[in-house]
Structure 1
Amino acid sequence: MAATTFIASTLGASIAEQVAGKAAGSSVGAPAQRNQSSRKGKRAWRKNVDLDEVEEGLEELRTEERLTGTALQKKKDEELFQVDVAGDDQIRKILPKFSERVLTSTKILAQRSAVPAVFSRASASSSSSTTKAEKRKLVTHEDKSKLLRIGKKLRRGPFNAYVDPDQVGEGSAMLELSEAAKKAGTYDVWAEEVPESVPVKAPQSHHPRSLISLAAVPSPHEGQSYNPPLTSHQELLRAANEVEEQKYKGVDELEAMKAKMEQARQIAAAEAAVHVAAGVAPGMTVPEIADQADEEEGEGAEPPPPKKVPERKTKQQRKKAEKLRAEKRALAEKAARKRMLASVDSAKALRKSIARDLATRERLRAQRQAQMQEKLKRGLAGQKIGKHKVPEGEIDVQLGEELSESLRALKPEGNLFRDRFVSMQHRALIEPRAVVTTKKARRKTKEYEKHSYKKFDREY
């Protein structure tokens, strides 16, 4: 019995020592388990890390905050140091006197932290000890109502009645006034001046309409008169002839292209017919001329000489080649250095040439811009805007035999609507559009054969 008691006491002591070693705390009171032998997993490594230095540093910072209100690193030198020249006679009265009768717990409770306490609710004592900026704001009636709606809690409404949170606007959805409703009445739609709160930004690029100086109704050409001079009439006829020639030139080129495509299609069809007649699929024939040339080359030509395998260089040859490469490299570096020194000496000349080139480019750019503005003054005729091209307008001219020498026999020419529409496109008032022609529904003629005509043989 005594032996059993001794063994149990011995085992209990050893287990207690192991538990005490595992759960031994650090100097700052944090638990530590660094005596554990197993470190197979991540959790074991995390448990067995020595954090005494980190905990001591954090505890020092907390002590500084309790004594001074903040860390000493954040304080200025004027708050930490002071040069005492005169001294203080009342210092002995201020310092606490040592007393053996005061308990240690009383000393600990007497130590007050410089960090302000956290109060759950605003009270007279807390408000007196804190500043106005640190006072906690009370919950307003609107915020409280909003929180109750979100939480769907029962709350009192008008006439001290409970409001149902499932009603429209009483649940979590907020049906508040929009920004437009809040700002209603502050903006005058019919005001002539734009308010300062809504600034209007000017466009960065000028509209071409501001540069066009074309008249809405341009004056007609002198050759369009009912009794024009001969030279003006001939000039207008020549201009109309050039426009028509350009139109027909494009049509002729298109027809020639179509004819070439049709000819190539016919040739391909004829070749395919020949191959089909010979029993060979098109594209599978091998030219005989190439075969004959290959045969002739194979019979009369000599076989190519065997390639000579380069011999392995000796050590002396490799040294000589390396020396030659080093000399070439040194010469190239010397030439590059010489060019660099020459460029440094000619930096002033290069700067002048660059300035001269920039001035020339600026002058050319100004000339191009002036030409573009001068061209815009005459309108957008012939220019491509977007997907379509601005039409130049048709030239209305009569032949010599069609001219009437009196206003009584004058016949109207052209189309006023077309002229106004083209004029607005030239002055950039409307964008150019392609002419959309609607296809008229063609009615197919159906032919019927009467029943009497089907039986004309029987009647006779």
Structure 2
Amino acid sequence: MCSRSSPVLHIFLGMTKRVSKSRLSRNKKKYWRKGIDVTDVEEHLLNESVDERQGGVLCQRADDDLFTIDRSPVSSQRLTRKQGAFLQRKRLRHEIEQEIGKVADKKPSKRSLKKVKHKDKKPVKKVPSDSTEQSNMARSSKEKPYDLWETDLSVPIDLDYAEGAEHFLKTTKKKLPRAPSTLHHISSLLPAVDVLNQGASYNPSVSNYQHYVGEIADAELKLMSEEEKLKKKLSLAPGETYVTEEERIAEESAGLIGDAEESDEQEEEQSSVTVEDYSGTEQNNVLTVNVKRKTAERKTKKQRQREIRMRNMVLSENRRKLRNAEENLLYKVKKIDKEVVDELKAVEERMKLRRHRKILKRFCGTRQIGCGKFEPEEDVFLLPEELTDSLRNLKPQGNVLIDRLKSYEKRNMLAVAGEREKSKNKRRLRFKEVEKRSYREM
């Protein structure tokens, strides 16, 4: 059975018979086409033909033809509030460690060092600390000359991260704490220090000195004239004297001790005068009664009708004039409109001017903050014999502390001291005792 072979087997063996290799020398031109393996080229051409049938070569096709974008939402597990806060803190801590580089130098434990020695037998590399960086910078700065005021020897830190930058600036005291809202409040626009006149100099010109001293003298004369006017108003008229203590006591005790008889005589005289006056008034009344009163004449019917017609005519004439005036207003609409517009513009201008004056009064004036009234400081000046040509011989005038105090009061930064006025309103009610009738009867 083994010696014979089936025909099917012979056919299969014949189909799979190995092709003999071509025996050609490699230095001949004929070997270029027969001895080269062209299977890679055929596979490449076959792949290109397949790609062209499917829509084109892959390397030449667009990304939208090859890929599709999945727009369906990703099913994410919802976290609780505490879990989200913990993850956010962890993420921020990791970002801070990466950005700023403030990772704590953790010393490896003995157990981990033993494992490293047994496995790698290599020393553990330490992370360079800030001190080493500073020492390296100092060593490099010693090598090269540098400007002490220009160069910054501090360790450079990336301040792009907001929270890390704020923490660094606060710890290094480079960032001030949050200022209150009233810090930038503008109390006044007046200058902090007033520049004195040229005439107040230690060696002024003659014209400036005369002008400056003349203004002070005029103000003093005006004050003296006001005091004289007030003194004249309070002075007594010629022939009048002030009331003494004896005269006041005599006036208060009049009619109480020794003037009883004089008072009785005066009462009798007054009673006799009143009786005479009463008798005279009775005679006058009798005379008036005897006089007959003149009666008014009665109007006739025609007179009354004429008055009614005249009254109606006057009323109708007034109505006609009023109607004509209203009709004439229709032809003056443009003129009235223009007058109204002009009036509104004038009102707006006055309002702007009033607002401007109010702002100037607020920021350039002195408000009454305290109980006292602000009084400006007196202008200092030197007499002609006190003027010198050298500052060493100058006689000091004024006081710096008083000048600063007046400046604060003038700029509404300090309250003016003074006595507080007592309020006239009753702060608490008074108890009133009432005795009821039932209680009184008891």
TM range (shorter): 0.3 to 0.5
Q: Which has the higher contact order (CA 8 A, sep 6+)?
A: 2
TM-score w.r.t. length of structure 2: 0.40
TM-score w.r.t. length of structure 1: 0.38
Name the larger-Rg structure: 2
